[in-house]
Amino acid sequence: MSDSDTDSPENASLRTPIVAVLGHVDHGKTSLLDQIRGSAVIEGEAGAITQHIGATAVPLDVISAIAGDLVDPDDFDLPGLLFIDTPGHHSFTTLRSRGGNLADIAILVVDVNDGFQPQTIEALDILQRSQTPFIVAANKIDTVPGWNPTDDAPIKPTYDEQSDRVRGDLDERLYEIIGELSDEGFSADLYWRVQHFQRNIGVVPVSAMTGEGVPDLLTVMMGLSQRYMKEEMEIDVAGPGVGTVLEVKEEKGFGTTVDIVLYDGTIRTDDTIVVGGTTEPIVTDVRALLQPRPLAEIRTESRFEQVEQVDAAAGIKVAAPDLDDAMAGAPVRVVRDRALDDVIEEVEAELAEIAVDTDEQG
């Protein structure tokens, strides 16, 4: 650590964008997340891919290893992508952060055979209302009859490998999806034709089964974040942590714990925190910060390892007394050197906002 003043701009840092995966049931959200996790584990040096609580961090060097020629790591200064492990628009809408959704960007998964379905349209509505930048993963390209797969390949070379008939068949399905997006008011095109991802939605053909197109998907997500979200990703890394509760869970040896996604600042083991509860904000002291232990190290020990400090963006389990009434979707704030009453007020204000949103959505 340097001895620089903790309030100096040198502490400003870029955090990892938080990514949510949405789409109709069975279109492949879970498989896509598994495929991304799988590729990241294979490509990552030991320790490079970090399985967080409730989220998976894919650092830039791993994305660059997966994407090969598609990514020049020098073009990026965001540290990577943090995928929320629970897909679907329920988790997307209930997971809020101050002033918006917890997820900064999203992947909308559409099955190329099935096209737009009710939950696809619902997801589009939600993305539009929350003004969340997103791309469309046109999934299951390997199911086009006659498809000749090359596992984990970028889309261009594998597309060129296919026969004219197979390519034509895929094109037809992709243009159907682009047409459906247009019917819903979104101008979209195949991602390599898109110049301005703010104006046009990029469609990335992928297979969550074979991994084809996954390099492209990660590259486009990284590019989209870098170009359009960089300012929003600027945080004070040393500041008091702010996060959202993913889940409230009983954990052997730790009592009731909360799994949180931290989207700003840091949280430490000696912090006092304020957590949104079912009746009122809970003020408590962090007892332990827990991360999943790498699989290889699990013998008879705890599934978790304790860490002293976590920086945003990250998923972490917090053990602390009095968490029984904590609420999924509620805010978590570190008090640190601020007045406790102010922090309680902030949490109360955020809880009130969540209540209004829930009423509006019925």
- What residue ranges bind ligand GDP (CB under 6 A)? 23, 25-31, 87, 139-140, 142-143, 207-209
Structure tokens at 79: 């540290």
Q: Is the dihedral of CA 173, 84, 156, 72 positive or negative?
A: positive
Provide, rounded to whole angstroms, the least separation between the CB of residue 161 and ligand GDP: 17
Closer to ligand GDP by Cβ: residue 4 or 150 = 150
Q: Report the SS3 class of residue 274.
A: strand
Select 23 or 133, whichever has its Cβ closest to ligand GDP.
Answer: 23
Strand bridging mode 304-307 / 188-190: unpaired
Nearer residue to ligand GDP within complex by CB, 89 or 336: 89
CB of 152 to ligand GDP, least distance (A): 13
CB burial of 208-224 (b: ≥16 within 10 Å; e: otherwise) equals bbbbbbbbbbbbbbbbb
Measured from the CB atom, the residue of 139 and 219 that comes closer to ligand GDP is 139
| Amino acid residing at 189 | D
Smallest distance from the beta carbon of 315 to ligand GDP, in angstroms?
19
- The crossing angle, in degrees rounded to 10, of helices 214-229 and 29-43 is 90
Of residues 146 and 294, the one with the C-beta less far from ligand GDP: 146
Say whether 250 sits in a helix, a strand or coil. Answer: strand
- Between CA 186 and CA 256 the distance in angstroms is 44
Shortest distance, position 220 Cβ to ligand GDP, whole Å: 17
| Residue 151 CB, nearest approach to ligand GDP (Å) | 12
Helix, strand and coil percent figures for the chain, each rounded to 5: 35, 30, 35
CB of 24 to ligand GDP, least distance (A): 7
The nearer residue to ligand GDP, 142 or 180, going by C-beta atoms, is 142
The bridge status of strand 50-51 relative to strand 55-59 is antiparallel
Look up residue 301 and give its DSSP letter. Answer: S
Measured at CB, which residue is nearest to ligand GDP? 28
Tokens of 199: 């104006």
For residue 245, the minimal CB distance to ligand GDP (Å) is 23
Q: Among residues 225, 220, 195, 28, which one has the least CA distance to residue 132? A: 225
Q: Which of residues 213 and 265 has its CB atom nearest to ligand GDP in the complex? A: 213
Angle at 87 between CA 84 and CA 88, to 5 degrees: 135
Which phi and psi angles does 106 have, rounded to 5°?
-140, 155
What minimum distance in Å lies between the beta carbon of 167 and ligand GDP? 18
Question: Would you say 188 or 214 has its CB closer to ligand GDP?
Answer: 214
